[in-house]
A and B are shown apart, each in its own frame.
Chain A
């Protein structure tokens, strides 16, 4: 049976983000495309952040996974054609994030923070534990490039937020 692009993408949904293991690289929008050319599979990926240290691990995991599915030749291309945005994450991915305890990113058109701080403040982030919007930002930078640190005044819990970009 001939392998289709959809099947390759389906296989790639087994590759998880090493920093956020509940999400796979397809639903995060990191995998941009897959093509079959003879016996070679080409996979296009795009980095979430320029310096994301997980990209190398993701690339290796893609190759390992497709090898295990019987593809001998796998070429992973890093593409920059369009810059990754959190808007590419599927709704399902955002629901999984919240369930995992990370406040998901809202749509960028409504929530992207301005470059200069006095140009306005965004809405508070909803606490993934109790749902309250009575939260404050502790730091714009967290344990990974994609997350910020917040504190919920209602349930007194610190939590992480996947930043809008």
Chain B
């Protein structure tokens, strides 16, 4: 019964758990897990804003399914972040009791949901990245992260397929859908550079074998995005100025508004349960 085909990575003697983690790696790993967890949480919240507002019933359900995956991933990642931090906080504390300055998500996920074309274009750009990232993270030497990544990788696969199918349909659709899809890609492009930045946190973790080098993900990411954009008969935007800052807590004004809504209940009624 328990010998089914393993789809995660087999564990080895050199694998680290929270207990055996080198204390010097803790701050960087905590920071990195917040980045991953916050990306998933904030994007999940943006997707959940479509609940009851989808273009038609099946798509409403699809977007909320994607939101649920993201929030579930965030729960696992932030729970692990709290464990690594070792300061007695839990996933809920990190999700609901931090302010915008302490969030580490990339700017691209916090932008307002926009029209359906914008949501689809962002999903394509982000899930193409998440799919490659989680694929690589399955090999992380930090075993609990490799496990969460193996699960998220499977989900990123159909997230990417969903947004690809839609971008192709919109781009190769009516004049209106085509123009909106192209505008969305153009508007989003300057937020994509941040996903592949390598700073001190990443240098530490890449050297220790805990995280993949984000720069190595950029070329395969571009190849996938280019393939979908070209099927959609749209034009890949030109590289120009890239806006960054989310990884160090410098966010757009949109994040504060999102948090005000997302965190309202636990802040107004601390420790509420049902």
A and B associate in one complex: yes
Contact yes or no, B61 A141, CB < 8 A: yes
Task: Choose one: B154, B158, B161, B231; the contact of A83 (CB below 8 Å).
Answer: B154
Residues of chain B within 8 A (CB-CB) of A26 are: 1
Question: Which residues 199-236 in B have Cβ within 8 Å of A in the complex?
Answer: 224, 227-228, 231
Binds B, one of A15-23, A44-52, A94-102, A126-134: A44-52
Contact yes or no, A32 B2, CB < 8 A: yes
Residues of chain A within 8 A (CB-CB) of B76 are: 50, 80
Task: Choose one: B1, B4, B68; the contact of A145 (CB below 8 Å).
Answer: B68
Given contacts A29-B4, A84-B151, A85-B7, contact A116 B160 (CB under 8 A): yes
Contact yes or no, A139 B157, CB < 8 A: no
Interface residue? A117 (CB, 8 A): yes
Contact yes or no, B58 A50, CB < 8 A: no
In order of increasing CB-CB distance, the 3 nearest A-B pairs are A51-B72, A80-B147, A50-B72
Interface residue? A41 (CB, 8 A): no
CB distance from B52 to the nearest CB of A (A): 15
Write out, one digit per residue, whether chain B residues 166-201 have a CB within 8 A of any chain A CB (1) or not (0): 001000000000000000000000000000000000
Residues of chain A within 8 A (CB-CB) of B164 are: 115-118
Interface residue? A87 (CB, 8 A): yes
Instruction: Determine the interface band of chain B, counting residues with CB < 8 A from chain A.
Output: 35 or more
CB distance from A145 to the nearest CB of B (A): 6
Write out, one digit per residue, whether chain A residues 56-91 have a CB within 8 A of any chain B CB (1) or not (0): 000000000000000000000001111111011010
Task: Name A's B-contacting residues (CB within 8 A).
Answer: 9, 26, 29, 32-33, 47, 49-53, 79-85, 87-88, 90, 113-118, 138-143, 145, 149, 165
Contact yes or no, B69 A82, CB < 8 A: no
Show 21 residue pairs from A and B whose CB-CB distance is below 8 angstroms, ordered by the A residue.
A49-B68, A50-B69, A51-B70, A79-B147, A80-B148, A83-B147, A83-B150, A84-B151, A85-B154, A88-B4, A113-B158, A115-B131, A115-B158, A115-B161, A116-B160, A116-B164, A116-B228, A139-B59, A139-B61, A140-B161, A142-B61
Contact yes or no, B150 A53, CB < 8 A: no
Contact yes or no, A113 B65, CB < 8 A: no
Contact yes or no, A116 B61, CB < 8 A: no
Contact yes or no, B227 A116, CB < 8 A: yes
CB distance from B229 to the nearest CB of A (A): 12
Q: Interface on chain B toward A: helix, strand, loop, or mixed SS?
A: helix
Interface residue? B155 (CB, 8 A): yes
Task: Report the Cα distance A117→B165, complex, angstroms.
Answer: 6
Residues of chain B within 8 A (CB-CB) of A90 are: 1
Task: Choose one: B8, B58, B153, B227; the contact of A138 (CB below 8 Å).
Answer: B58
Told that A80-B8, A83-B151, A117-B165 touch, could you supply 9 new A-B pairs with CB distance under 8 A?
A47-B72, A83-B154, A114-B161, A115-B161, A116-B160, A116-B227, A117-B164, A118-B164, A141-B62
Task: Report the Cα distance A23→B240, complex, angstroms.
Answer: 54
Task: Report the Cα distance A117→B160, complex, angstroms.
Answer: 9
Contact yes or no, A117 B168, CB < 8 A: yes
Task: Report the Cα distance A17→B68, complex, angstroms.
Answer: 18
Residues of chain B within 8 A (CB-CB) of A115 are: 131, 156-158, 160-161, 164
Interface residue? B26 (CB, 8 A): no
Task: Report the Cα distance A118→B226, complex, angstroms.
Answer: 13
Contact yes or no, B150 A116, CB < 8 A: no
Given contacts A47-B151, A50-B151, A81-B11, contact A141 B58 (CB under 8 A): yes
Interface residue? B250 (CB, 8 A): no
Interface residue? B75 (CB, 8 A): yes
CB distance from B63 to the nearest CB of A (A): 8
